[in-house]
Amino acid sequence: MKRILTCMLVSGAILSLAVTPVAAMKVTDKDVLDDAKTPGDVVSHGLGTKMQRYSPSTKINDKNVKDLVPAWTFSFGAEKQRGQQSQPVVRDGVMFVTGSYSRVFALDAKTGKKKWEYNHRLPEGILPCCDVINRGGALYENLFIYGTLDSLLVALDVDTGKVVWKEKVGDYADGYSITNAPTIAKGMVLTGMAGGEFGVIGRVQAHDAKTGKMIWIRPTVEGHMGYKDGKENGVSGTVNQTWPGELWKTGGSAPWMGGTYDPDTNMYYVGTGNPSPWNSYLRPGDNLFSSSVVAIDVDSGKIAWYFQLTPNDGWDFDAMTLAVPYTDKAGRKLLAKPDKNGFFYVLDAKTGEFVRGFPFVKKITWATGLTKEGKPIWVPENRPGNPLKSADGKKGTTVFTAPSFLGGTNQQGIAFSPDTNLFYVPTVEWGMDIWNEPISYKKGAAYLGAGFTIKKLDPKDIGGDYMGALRAIDPATGKIVCEVRDPAPLWGGALVTKGNLVFWGTPDGQIKAADAKTCKELWSYQTGSGIVAPPMTWEQDGEQYVALVSGWGGAVPLWGGEVAKATAGITQGGSVTVFKLFKSAKK
């Protein structure tokens, strides 16, 4: 662990580079709310604050996708080729995309010509857990807003790339960082933060999107005070109700993927991370609000409800995957959440009531299922052993667990189509050996108390020799309607369109498209580096474009054990490629 973390310590000191001013633009609250319905721009991560990753565009469809060709490619720079997990945003013919090391590029969306570049000055000693990645930003007014590895929110002028405001969200020396793309809601920029592996206190913050001023802060660890407008705003939960002793003071539960905003309920749904440390014997109890979905009222900054998926988590099954709002055929407002722990959850979006749950991976060993309330039915012997009861007091009993701690799904963005009523989930089938070790908290040091090795599963247990699968899942029945398998773990997100297409990327560098109803592959293109980012699409001047960032990295090569060795030959990179239909194919 120490070796891996040490390799992540980086610094940067390159100033903002202004090249060509872009045309003035202004993104309003209405533009944000209408983002999912307006194919002419994409101003939010996930193509809308609900992050359904659905586009109403049909110009590219299942009949002509075979004629999709590259329009242009832009390189982020060869000297900084690390994991690239960003989704671009586009407005008024300009694309804004982030790269590793907290960089931002503004590009002509039709040609790829660089308008300006901003390189954030990173200090020595930052502590990102899982590569120096960034997942993107949001547009509001005339600002591009994103988070940095030293835990700042930064707002850049869209015309020049100059800093308009920047606000500190957490102390990077404690282990805080921001890798998620922020969400705009009611003129506020909402963000979570990373750092659970260092014993930080997970929290969600809301800042004025125009000025950066902090409006409210809501801790996601029981016992910590929230604040609004600089005043106390109530404790999250009750001190020591589900946490023993003093461990709640370094409780983790970091919402490192951020969340989704549903204006219909006025709630920000955030998935929280693992409790700290991983060694669960040190913290008996449910350890709220870790490994949970937490619904926060965006006006008050208070928790409206929560649902815990893995109480007393002992496997790093943090529940940070996005909870995506949707409406079922009966008109009920629901949340869908495929979780790292291998189960797919459907919750009532207004109340958090458990509606249904089912496995979406083929092999789960830590639980036999879910109760009618949605709680896991434990397999006690599959929890890693207590090191204090071992012969030497240094290492508890090792157990084999599936899924692995990297999850049945993870940071990959899922997609929902109101046309098929299916969710498209990039899924991984793998397991791990895991054991507990003694640990004590030290500021800025890794705070795990566990060791692990990720392993491939026996093909007989999952019905074939593969690790990744893009699965089309019916949330009403739990049925896997169709799937496309891949020999490597799928680590990039999905995009679905009204043109009956689903797009996704693979670790060997291919962007693919398939029929959204049957999963039949229809098109692919080799980008040159492994893909760990989600595709997006927009329309401009009568044409539809598809864009995807490529650049292998992130958690899999750092933490993947045997799997990382199997993918060691994948070329690193850092670029964004944009596609459109070949002109002769247009009608």
Catalytic residues: 316
Amino acid letter for position 224: H
Long-range contacts of the stretch 387-390 (C-beta < 8 A, 24+): 387/279, 387/281, 387/435, 387/436, 387/437, 387/438, 388/281, 388/438
Measured distance CA(554)–CA(540) in Å, rounded: 32
The strand pairing partners of 279, in sequence order, are: none
CB 46 within 8 A of CB 536: no
Amino acid letter for position 239: V
173 to 9, 344, 446, 465: CA distances (angstroms)? 11, 36, 12, 43
Kindly give the pairing relationship between strand 54-55 and strand 494-497.
parallel
- The strands making up 89-91's β-sheet, listed across from edge to edge, are 17-18, 114-119, 103-108, 94-99, 89-91
User: Tokens at residue 167, please?
Assistant: 């606000």
User: Tokens at residue 18, please?
Assistant: 């202004």
State whether residue 237 is helix, strand or coil: coil
Q: What's the per-residue H, E or C state across 462-500?
A: HCCCCCEEEEEECCCCCCEEEEEEECCCCCCCEEEECCC
Q: Which of 142, 68, 60 is nearest to 106 (CA)?
A: 142
Strand intervals (E) in 236-281: 259-262, 267-271
DSSP 8-class letter at 414: P
